[in-house]
Amino acid sequence: MKRILVAVKRVVDFNIRIRVKPDNSGVMTEGVKQSLNPFDEIALEEALRLREKGLADEVVVASIGPAEVQTQLRTALAMGADRALLVTTDAPLEPLDAARTLLKLVERETPMLVLLGKQAIDDDNNQTGQMLAALWDRPQATFASKLELGEGTARVTREIDAGLETIEVDLPAVVTADLRLNEPRFVKLPEIIKAKKKPLEMLDLATLGITPKPRLKAVHYAPPAGRLKGVMVKDVEELLAQLGAKGLI
């Protein structure tokens, strides 16, 4: 079976203004709307389009986190995924442990393609896809803005600093989605209702043989400095004087 595995992450919704806890120990998440990571949503949309073109038989969506992540997985199922996997853990995972966990799912599901967002908007690490490809010992194509599947290969247009780069990789492979790959579809009410009956399997992190190993410790959180109020100047000379007073020139 031609199967695509899509890894998704639950994050604070991008429309929400992030607030730091009063004791600066972290970010406030209680009562805050959580959604699918936008880049992962793009990856899922691409997998669904490939299936609709007849290039894949099944789309499996997977996530790692607490039981509450079922809500986001049901959203993914409503978008059109065939079934979902949730590896449950309350421990925050760093990219390497997330990649090791996804590798276990890859070995179990044997997909021809693994899709995920290029990065999560909460930590912006941009590491999990690359680490998964290295652990799996398969090709990777990151920052994809276009994806075409051939006979045993994937042709990927990547967004790089110098512009666009097109590469071809053998399948199975790992591809990470960039912003311009597509625009995710709008989920309608009938699909949301149907998604409640789709399979969602719960797996425990420990049963997969994964023990998280924290390598980084955040000791302090702080919000960005407030933006200074603008100052109106009459002419260039006054502008230069203001900049000089602030030590900018």
The first and second tokens of residue 208, run together, are 């997969």
Domain limits of the chain? 3-245
CATH 3.30.750.24: does it fit domain 3-245? no
Distance CA 158, CA 232 (A): 43
pLDDT tens-digit series, residues 97-146 = 999 999 999 999 999 999 999 999 988 899 999 999 999 999 999 999 99
Half-sphere exposure of 214 (CA within 13 A, CB side): 5
Residues 6+ apart with CB under 8 A from 54: none
pTM of the model: 0.86
Q: What digits encode the pLDDT tens for the residues 172-194? A: 999 999 999 999 999 989 999 99
Could you read off the pLDDT of 50-71 as tens digits, one per residue? 999 999 999 999 999 999 999 9
Amino acid (one-letter) located at 148? E
Q: How far apart are CA 141 and CA 147, in angstroms?
A: 10
Q: Tell me which residue has tokens 């806890």.
A: 21
Give the pair of three-digit tokens for residue 61: 């969506």
- Quick: pLDDT tens for 1-42: 899 999 999 998 888 888 888 888 788 777 788 899 999 999
Angle in degrees, CA 117, 119, 124, rounded to 5: 165
Instruction: Give the whole-angstrom CA distance, residue 119 versus residue 26.
Output: 20
75-103 b/e (C-beta count within 10 Å ≥ 16 → b): bbbbbbbbbbbbbbbeeebbbbbbbbbbb
- E strand or H helix at 148, and its extent? strand 140-149
Cα separation values, 215 from 97, 212, 223, Å:
10, 9, 23
* Helices (runs of H) and strands (runs of E) counted in the chain: 6, 11
Report yes or no: 4 and 60 within 8 Å, Cβ to Cβ: yes
